[in-house]
Copies of this chain bind each other. A is one copy, B any other.
Amino acid sequence: MTTEARPLAGKDRRTILTYGTFDLFHVGHVRLLRRLAELGDRLIVACSTDEFNALKGKQTAIPFAHRVEVLEACKHVDLVIPEERWEQKRQDIVDHKVNLFAMGDDWAGRFDDLRDLCDVLYLPRTQNVSTTELKELIQTMRQRPPAAE
């Protein structure tokens, strides 16, 4: 017998699933992902594709492939999958043996119908840190000439 930590077998492992765009990766994303990861053993992030965002009339600063690569480099994230359509959630939950579906509380109540498949939780978002506010800040930043270095 050993007391070394080992990966849990599939049936004992608690898998969390969340969905998002993760444009301009920032501290609000990090804190949400950290809190999600702490709820289980494996965090899966479904990242919206550029095509899906276009359907929603949403434009990102960062293309899908780069948003995925940044998410994959986050120590709280175990797997990144594409989010391509609204209807995929039930299948994702089954395919990845998800125990907990969790989103920021800007989505509170919106996914309660998934409770027949797994737990559903809405987490508080970090106040005053959002991609939208960040873009607005950058758009209003005064452009200074770069200093000689």
Contacts and interface: CB of A to CB of B under 8 A. Distances in A.
Interface of A: 4, 24-27, 30-31, 33-34, 56-59, 61-62, 66, 69-70, 73-76, 129, 134-135, 137-139, 141-142, 144-147, 149
Contacts of A24: 24, 134, 138
A58 B147 contact: yes
A88 to B, nearest CB: 15
The complex is assembled from copies of this chain, and their number is 2
Q: 3 tightest A-B contacts by CB?
A: A57-B147, A27-B66, A75-B75
Given A57-B147, A144-B57, A147-B57, A25 B138 contact: no
Nearest to A149: B56
